[in-house]
């Protein structure tokens, strides 16, 4: 009986460890800086494998009164299987600073493969 409990505990531990192993694959980019005037629009360009279902999405904005997400354009690659360039646009609303975090996620996944932090200053 004890050996069955020990084997079960080892099995559960291995499943837990294997399910968490994807967390180390997250790539983080910090320090991207954008400056813009009130009413202006600025953007960042990022490669995305939209063919495989990946997309850049806004996950947080520390001060939504300063700048907001203003849409996204997809510039396709030469072939359908080539990564697209996503142009993520932000609009300056009032003077100040905010930090926007973008996550690179595959449709249906809960954990981001990459994150990017954008520091926005509106003057």
Q: Which portions of the chain are predicted below pLDDT 50?
A: 16-27
Tens digit of each residue's pLDDT (9 = 90 or more) over 55-87 = 999 999 999 999 999 999 999 988 878 899 999
Distance between CA 100 and CA 57 in Å, rounded?
10
Q: Which strands form 54-61's sheet, in the order they lie side by side?
A: 27-36, 114-122, 96-106, 54-61
For residues 39 and 95, the answer to whether their CB atoms sit within 8 Å is no
Pinpoint the alpha helices (H) of the chain: 2-20
Q: Terminus-to-terminus CA distance in the chain, angstroms?
A: 70
Token duo for residue 33: 């800086």
Domains along the chain with CATH numbers: 26-122 (2.60.40.2020)
- pTM attached to this predicted model: 0.72
pLDDT at 75: 93
């Amino acid at each position: 009986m004890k050996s069955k409990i020990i084997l079960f505990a080892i099995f559960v531990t291995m499943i837990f460890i294997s399910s968490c192993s994807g967390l180390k694959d997250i790539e983080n980019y910090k320090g991207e800086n954008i400056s813009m005037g009130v009413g202006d629009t600025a953007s960042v360009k990022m490669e995305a494998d939209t063919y495989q279902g990946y997309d850049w999405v806004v996950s947080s904005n520390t001060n939504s009164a300063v700048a907001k997400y203003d849409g996204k354009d997809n510039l396709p690659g030469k072939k359908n299987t080539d990564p697209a360039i996503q142009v993520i646009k932000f609009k300056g609303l009032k003077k100040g600073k905010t930090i926007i975090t973008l996550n690179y996620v595959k449709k249906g996944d809960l954990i981001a493969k990459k994150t990017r932090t954008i520091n926005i200053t509106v003057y």
